[in-house]
Structure 1
Amino acid sequence: MTAHTPRAVYRYGTWTLAPDREPDAEPVTYAMQCAVCEDRSDALEDPADAQAWTFRHAGRHPSHHTYREVITRPWRAWMA
């Protein structure tokens, strides 16, 4: 008996990739992450709300000075 392996079918053509701006697209979200302890804010639609998290976090952890912004932007791919 031979084992069956999964197979994939690829469609060749010219693909386009762009940010998803359809009415049902997920929202762009922003989060801030502490680069010291890796703790992070919730993913929020307003970047200012996410950035405000850093001040609360820094207030609780005065030695945590470095942060990174994490942006989640939905994209769509389609064949032209």
Structure 2
Amino acid sequence: MTRAVYRFEEWVVALDDEPDAEPIVFGAQCAVCLNASDSLADEEQVAHWVLDHAGQHPSHHSYRELIQRPLRAWMPKVPNP
């Protein structure tokens, strides 16, 4: 007979704001043709991509904003009793 022991741990997930964290990047995707911009660090460049795409495809009016934010997961230290 085997016996298992489980220990449940609490984890925290939050935005990674460490100095070595990956940058936050933005993008957009056309909801009509699914074409997407490159990942960009500047939201204004994304708006230009949307306007350029809409200008080339006048019937494409719907877009998705794509944001990638770095996250961290860790177990908070629990004080010893």
Q: Report the TM-score when normalising by structure 1.
A: 0.82
Q: CA RMSD in A?
A: 1.4
Runs of 4 or more, structure 1, over 4 Å off, are none
Equivalent pairs, count: 71
Structure 2 segments unaligned to the other structure (5+ residues): 1-5, 77-81
Which amino acid counterpart does residue 34 of structure 2 have in structure 1? E
2:38 corresponds in structure 1 to: 42
Question: Which runs of 5 or more residues in structure 1 are unaligned?
Answer: 1-9
**1:69 deviation in Å?**
0.2
Q: Which residue of 2 aligns with 1:5?
A: none
Partner in structure 1 of residue 54 of structure 2: 58
Aligned position for 1:73? 69
Pick the structure with greater CA Rg.
Answer: 2
Percent identical pairs in the alignment equals 55
